[in-house]
Chain A
Amino acid sequence: DTAVSQTPKYLVTQMGNDKSIKCEQNLGHDTMYWYKQDSKKFLKIMFSYNNKELIINETVPNRFSPKSPDKAHLNLHINSLELGDSAVYFCASSQGINLDGYEQYFGPGTRLTVT
Chain B
Amino acid sequence: LAKTTQPISMDSYEGQEVNITCSHNNIATNDYITWYQQFPSQGPRFIIQGYKTKVTNEVASLFIPADRKSSTLSLPRVSLSDTAVYYCLVVSNTGFQKLVFGTGTRLLVSP
- Within B23-54, the residues touching A (CB, 8 Å) are 32, 34, 38, 41-46, 49
Tally of chain A residues near chain B (CB < 8 A): 27
What number of residue pairs across chains A and B have CB atoms under 8 A from each other? 62
Task: Tell me whether A94 and B42 are in contact (CB under 8 A).
Answer: no
Produce 1/0 per residue, B60-85, CB < 8 A to A.
00000000000000000000000001
- Residue positions of B touching A, CB distance < 8 A: 32, 34, 38, 41-46, 49, 85, 87, 91-101, 103-104
* A83 at interface, CB cutoff 8 A: no
Report which residue of B92, B93, B94, B96 has the largest number of chain A beta carbons within 10 angstroms of its beta carbon. Answer: B96
- Residue positions of A touching B, CB distance < 8 A: 4, 31, 41-45, 48, 50, 55-56, 90, 92, 94, 96-99, 101-109
Task: Tell me whether A42 and B101 are in contact (CB under 8 A).
Answer: yes
Instruction: Give the Cβ gap from B88 to chain A, nearest Cβ, in Å.
Output: 13
Contacts of A4 in B (CB 8 A): 43
Task: Tell me whether A45 and B99 are in contact (CB under 8 A).
Answer: yes
Task: Tell me whether B85 and A109 are in contact (CB under 8 A).
Answer: no
